Amino acid sequence: MLFSSILLIHLWLGMGHDIVGLLYEPAGLLHLTSYLFVAFLTGYFADRRDQERHELRWEKNEQKEQYRELLQAYNACMDTKDALYRQIVNSDDSIGRIYNIIRRLDSVDVEQVFDQAASVTAEILNVHDIAIYGLRFEQWSLSQQNLLSVTMRLIASSLGRARQFESEAEERRYIAGTNILQAEAFKSVLQGMLQRSQRQAQADTDTGVYLLHLVRDTYTDAELDAKLASCLHAGDFVGVMNGGVAVLLAEANADTADIVARRLTAAGLHVERQEKVAA
């Protein structure tokens, strides 16, 4: 507006008029008034636009600050959630630990239940192996007592289910009228014994799982079972393996296997070969 007014006055003076006369000339006065109006209108909209930009920048900064605060709160919640998750999963008496015990005891094989029961009990007591003759609960923490109490109930429940299944499936598990395990059942028992032997290998490298493979000769299943009953302990197993019959000795050594082999020979049975089975 100022630049246009200077040009107008310069042009007016060049035409022989003076500045005072310009104020009384309608055409010149209209020019100056229009310049002033355009300047005022332009300035008004420019200021309004600047104000809007300023308000938008302020609103944007406020939104960024709110977003930053929300992000910090979210990260803090996630950190708390992760810490609680680790606390639950890693706790000795957590739901995850109970679930792991249930999963390991979830078997219909009595031997597997006994094996896993000893394993999880040893873990609870923080020992490598377990042989309990008398318990002094006052020496344990409340957490250990609670977890062991729950574990004992789970073991009893698993044993009950396994015993019930065993009684219902006895005909499929054993050769009829004998204590000789069918091939699949004998294989399952062998796998369980190998797992136990593998865990105990660090404590005792001499003991392990031994198999004595027998020659059946002309004995019937009942005759063979009767002869074996007088030669084996309650913790030993007899089953069908590779078309023949084998004796499973758990937690035995070479001397024990030799003694049992001689005992079987004295009973009229022939041991074809004996081997220590590796896990």
CA distance 117 to 132: 13
Measuring CA to CA, which residue among 176, 190, 208, 54 is closest to residue 112? 190
Q: For 8-24, write each residue's pLDDT tens digit.
A: 777 777 776 666 666 66
At 58 the pLDDT is: 92
Backbone phi, psi, residue 162, to 5°: -65, -40
Span 181-279: which CATH code? 3.30.70.270
- Distance (Å) of CA 228 to CA 22, 65, 199: 139, 83, 29
Laid out side by side, the sheet with 244-252 consists of 180-181, 237-241, 244-252, 208-215, 270-277
CA distance 267 to 252: 21
Q: Is 32 exposed, middle or buried (0-12, 13-18, 19+ CB in 10 A)?
A: middle
- pLDDT bin (cut points 50, 70, 90) of residue 57 is very high
Per-range mean pLDDT, top range of 17-21, 65-69, 87-91, 268-272: 65-69
CA distance 145 to 199: 24
Identity of the amino acid at 74: Y
Angle subtended at Cα 81 by Cα 65 and Cα 61, rounded to the nearest 5 degrees: 5
Q: Give the chain's mean pLDDT.
A: 76
CA distance 74 to 68: 10
CA distance 101 to 15: 110
Domain ranges of the chain: 2-71, 92-168, 181-279
